[in-house]
Chain A
């Protein structure tokens, strides 16, 4: 029996099957290839890929574990496929969004026109946890705030794409996207040319170009470094991977020192000037002189050097305000306001607990809604209504009423599903998509993104810290 013979798409939007036994055209070649594999062959490849990930240390760290155990990010060998025309629309929509978000941040940290004209309620924006009044009136290089963005997208039961959130601080995961591709090429070398898959491996070169583009003017090639919180950070593998691929130094806070508003790194041959810092450290920890005083990850004086224009940061300080899930609700308004365009990609309808009417609705409909805290990420601090217990709902109700500004709610989306390998056969599992957007001289997006999959049966949470895995994502040259 072939691997996909008994597959049931169920009452969901299935990426591969339009109905039981009906393969969508862009999956036809892949389907045929997978049907020709027997379980033993498939398991062999899977084991080989997992072993390679572990051997290469392609892992993330689980914080709840005392020993700081490193785990591999579970990888599902069945790729997710996006036809080119579908991708083009996503691409257009994300570029539009990226432009609007950057114009919003520039406006917010200068004239605040959008607040003065009451397009967005000022109290919703200025109360955002990651709003940085320190940045008001500080120009940033090339007027770009978010250089690297990882927006999360999902599809509903009809297959419509929605943007779920914009991660404009330090989005992670791109290394898995790149390593997944390498792993797939090793496991199924012949499949690529026969299907026609657009490449992704220029990402790191594009990223380096962006980081060089925003550097302060220098006589020689700018010195770019990646600032990491250190090897115990859950994304350390990615930091080290990106630094290696770009051929730049990876530094920790202790490696940098600020003198005369200029950032230097300590080398065996003395101090060397740094021009651009790709920082994978949150605003809060960047500079103990300005933000959290207890931060040992940061560099004292960094913000001063940044304000003086002697060093560039990617992303800029204060972008987190655009990540706030309350502010998220207004992105379509931003697009209309700054670009005079209609949004290409839809937002998920969002209720704000800070609005008394909407709050009442949220509290009454907890079992239908997904409640999220406005500033958490990684799948922490959320309640999936339909899957929750009465006790959890009571707990959230209390939290919401106590801190309404910290919570939003959205209808529970019936996320699309994708065949995923489970012990000898395929079952449908919910997925999302995180494309990575780069903003330098122009805006570019590596085709596809990271497809995350909720491996637990019925689960809607795809985060790696919550039992999620990932898939390689193929954007085709054509539509089938």
Chain B
């Protein structure tokens, strides 16, 4: 397969997954706010800042807005054209990449992502508010699920499909680390710092990972911070837990190269194998010893390193700038696709 095609499939998948995750986070935070007493501007800010941090667009936001209100955050993360991680831009980029490889993906996949793109282009903040943000975010999530289902059901599960899996699981694992990381703080600074307030928020986190019901089934218990953390990081079977994603990522990489478990033929496999082993042999106590914040930061750096290694191994193009681990609790910026070439001259 062409390296450029692998690159496009990988980013198509990452951006489609990213769009879904942003919709999830926004949706859950909005719903959480419904459960809390009427919030003043400061409290709104407290609730929204972690969201902005988890998408890595914290600083960018304040270049465009003064007030951290629900409306501004939704506008910024949903439709803003200057925010490369807004849902609109994620879908646009995913579709742009799909356009690059139109002849490689199935016709149905192209139609679905093109449909979603055309629909997103027709959205305005007014429209979203009129129909209710809940409906809107549901549609974004459903579009992503439909796209993934169509991908699995209509495309040959070969090397190209595996690159799509790599992109999807890397993005998803990364997003889960960010959600946990960002909310670590909110847990301490929750506006209603009572037992119920905490539970509400941890429930919200579970819901943003579509894991509320799965959690209940698994633990048959109250929502407790420790268990939530354990579930979202270490659960072996839940498809949005970091461990599950790392395992799926590792599997896909090995299918691509044909290299068996416990061995590696390139840096990407080596790094992915290490992350899997580490998660397999970790318990909640280990995470608490290191500190969740620290643990998440380190994990993010490792995931980014895997992404970069995949890039160097398979996708040769200009290198991505590697996000540096920082002492400050600012998460690394989300990796973005390197700039594609601009407009090209006409051919008769």
Q: What residues of chain A have their CB less than 8 Å away from a CB belonging to chain B?
A: 54-57, 63, 68, 167, 169-172, 229-236, 240-241, 243-244, 249-252, 254-255, 265-269, 280-282, 285, 296-297, 377-378
Instruction: With CB as the reference atom, state the residue of chain A lying closest to B8.
Output: A231
Within the complex, the shortest CB–CB distance from A479 to chain B, in Å, comes to 35
* B3 A68 Cβ-Cβ under 8 A: no
Instruction: With CB as the reference atom, state the residue of chain B lying closest to A240.
Output: B102
**Count class of interface residues, chain B:** 20 to 34
**A236-B99 contact, Cβ under 8 Å, with A255-B2, A267-B1:** yes
Contact check: which of A167, A233, A240 meets B344 at CB < 8 Å? A233
Within the complex, the shortest CB–CB distance from A449 to chain B, in Å, comes to 17
Instruction: With CB as the reference atom, state the residue of chain A lying closest to B316.
Output: A266
A-B contacts, 11 of them at CB < 8 A, read: A56-B114, A171-B348, A230-B341, A240-B102, A249-B2, A255-B3, A266-B3, A267-B1, A267-B2, A296-B341, A378-B346
* B4 A254 Cβ-Cβ under 8 A: yes
**A57-B99 contact, Cβ under 8 Å, with A254-B317, A265-B2:** yes
B342 at the interface (CB under 8 A from A): yes
B256 at the interface (CB under 8 A from A): yes
Q: Please, how many angstroms separate the alpha-carbon atoms of A182 and B12 in the complex?
A: 28
> Residues of A contacting B347 with CB < 8 Å?
170, 172, 229, 233-235, 280-282
Instruction: With CB as the reference atom, state the residue of chain A lying closest to B97.
Output: A231
Q: Please, how many angstroms separate the alpha-carbon atoms of A241 and B343 in the complex?
A: 20
> Residues of A contacting B107 with CB < 8 Å?
56
**A229-B103 contact, Cβ under 8 Å, with A266-B3, A268-B159:** no
Residues in B85-120 with C-beta less than 8 Å from chain A: 96, 99-100, 102-103, 107, 110-111, 114-115, 118
Highest count of chain A CB atoms <10 Å: which of B5, B314, B317, B347? B347
* B342 A232 Cβ-Cβ under 8 A: yes
Highest count of chain B CB atoms <10 Å: which of A167, A240, A255, A281? A240
Other than the given A63-B346, A167-B348, A268-B3, 9 more pairs (CB < 8 A) read: A55-B115, A169-B348, A171-B348, A230-B344, A234-B347, A240-B99, A251-B2, A254-B317, A268-B6
Q: Is the interface of A mostly helix, strand, loop or mixed?
A: loop
Of all A-B residue pairs in the complex, the 3 with the closest CB atoms, nearest first, are A244-B103, A377-B348, A229-B344
**A232-B348 contact, Cβ under 8 Å, with A243-B103, A255-B3, A267-B1:** no
Highest count of chain B CB atoms <10 Å: which of A171, A232, A240, A268? A268
> Residues of A contacting B317 with CB < 8 Å?
254
* B99 A255 Cβ-Cβ under 8 A: no
* A233 B159 Cβ-Cβ under 8 A: no
> Residues of B contacting A268 with CB < 8 Å?
1-3, 6, 159, 256, 314-315
Within the complex, the shortest CB–CB distance from A204 to chain B, in Å, comes to 12
* B99 A231 Cβ-Cβ under 8 A: yes
Instruction: With CB as the reference atom, state the residue of chain B lying closest to A270.
Output: B3
B345 at the interface (CB under 8 A from A): yes
Contact check: which of B96, B114, B342, B346 meets A234 at CB < 8 Å? B346
Q: Please, how many angstroms separate the alpha-carbon atoms of A170 and B159 in the complex?
A: 33
> Residues of A contacting B115 with CB < 8 Å?
55
Instruction: With CB as the reference atom, state the residue of chain B lying closest to A170.
Output: B347
Contact check: which of B4, B102, B315 meets A252 at CB < 8 Å? B4
Contact check: which of A171, A231, A266 meets B2 at CB < 8 Å? A266
* A285 B345 Cβ-Cβ under 8 A: yes
> Residues of B contacting A282 with CB < 8 Å?
347-348
Within the complex, the shortest CB–CB distance from A129 to chain B, in Å, comes to 13
Contact check: which of A56, A63, A250, A378 meets B348 at CB < 8 Å? A378
> Residues of B contacting A234 with CB < 8 Å?
346-347
> Residues of B contacting A231 with CB < 8 Å?
96, 99-100
Instruction: With CB as the reference atom, state the residue of chain B lying closest to A244.
Output: B103
> Residues of B contacting A243 with CB < 8 Å?
103
* B342 A55 Cβ-Cβ under 8 A: no
* B343 A68 Cβ-Cβ under 8 A: yes
Within the complex, the shortest CB–CB distance from B318 to chain A, in Å, comes to 10
Instruction: With CB as the reference atom, state the residue of chain B lying closest to A266.
Output: B3
Contact check: which of B103, B111, B118, B316 meets A250 at CB < 8 Å? B103
Q: Please, how many angstroms separate the alpha-carbon atoms of A236 and B3 in the complex?
A: 19
Q: Please, how many angstroms separate the alpha-carbon atoms of A63 and B4 in the complex?
A: 25
**A170-B348 contact, Cβ under 8 Å, with A56-B114, A231-B96:** yes
Q: Please, how many angstroms separate the alpha-carbon atoms of A341 and B76 in the complex?
A: 70
Residues in B64-96 with C-beta less than 8 Å from chain A: 96
Within the complex, the shortest CB–CB distance from A259 to chain B, in Å, comes to 15
> Residues of A contacting B114 with CB < 8 Å?
55-57
Q: Please, how many angstroms separate the alpha-carbon atoms of A378 and B346 in the complex?
A: 10
Within the complex, the shortest CB–CB distance from B220 to chain A, in Å, comes to 45
> Residues of A contacting B314 with CB < 8 Å?
268
Contact check: which of A68, A170, A244, A285 meets B102 at CB < 8 Å? A244
> Residues of A contacting B340 with CB < 8 Å?
230
Instruction: With CB as the reference atom, state the residue of chain A lying closest to B98.
Output: A57
Contact check: which of B103, B342, B345 meets A240 at CB < 8 Å? B103
Q: Please, how many angstroms separate the alpha-carbon atoms of A170 and B347 in the complex?
A: 7
> Residues of A contacting B103 with CB < 8 Å?
240-241, 243-244, 250
**Per-residue A-contact encoding for B288-325, CB less than 8 Å = 1, 0 else:** 00000000000000000000000000111100000000
Within the complex, the shortest CB–CB distance from A194 to chain B, in Å, comes to 29
* A297 B344 Cβ-Cβ under 8 A: yes
> Residues of B contacting A285 with CB < 8 Å?
345
Within the complex, the shortest CB–CB distance from A379 to chain B, in Å, comes to 11
Q: Please, how many angstroms separate the alpha-carbon atoms of A267 and B1 in the complex?
A: 5
> Residues of B contacting A296 with CB < 8 Å?
341
Instruction: With CB as the reference atom, state the residue of chain B lying closest to A323.
Output: B348
Q: Please, how many angstroms separate the alpha-carbon atoms of A218 and B190 in the complex?
A: 70
Residues in B52-74 with C-beta less than 8 Å from chain A: none
* A229 B345 Cβ-Cβ under 8 A: yes
Within the complex, the shortest CB–CB distance from A172 to chain B, in Å, comes to 7
Instruction: With CB as the reference atom, state the residue of chain B lying closest to A230.
Output: B344
Instruction: With CB as the reference atom, state the residue of chain A lying closest to B7.
Output: A268
Residues in B217-262 with C-beta less than 8 Å from chain A: 256
Instruction: With CB as the reference atom, state the residue of chain A lying closest to B256.
Output: A268
> Residues of B contacting A378 with CB < 8 Å?
346, 348
Instruction: With CB as the reference atom, state the residue of chain B lying closest to A279.
Output: B347
Within the complex, the shortest CB–CB distance from A243 to chain B, in Å, comes to 4
Q: Please, how many angstroms separate the alpha-carbon atoms of A92 and B145 in the complex?
A: 54
> Residues of A contacting B96 with CB < 8 Å?
231
Q: Please, how many angstroms separate the alpha-carbon atoms of A132 and B35 in the complex?
A: 74
Within the complex, the shortest CB–CB distance from A150 to chain B, in Å, comes to 10
> Residues of A contacting B111 with CB < 8 Å?
55-56
> Residues of A contacting B2 with CB < 8 Å?
249, 251, 255, 265-268
Q: Please, how many angstroms separate the alpha-carbon atoms of A266 and B103 in the complex?
A: 17
> Residues of B contacting A57 with CB < 8 Å?
99, 102, 110, 114
> Residues of A contacting B316 with CB < 8 Å?
266
Within the complex, the shortest CB–CB distance from B101 to chain A, in Å, comes to 8
Within the complex, the shortest CB–CB distance from A297 to chain B, in Å, comes to 6
* B3 A267 Cβ-Cβ under 8 A: yes
> Residues of B contacting A267 with CB < 8 Å?
1-3
Within the complex, the shortest CB–CB distance from A275 to chain B, in Å, comes to 16
> Residues of B contacting A55 with CB < 8 Å?
111, 114-115, 118
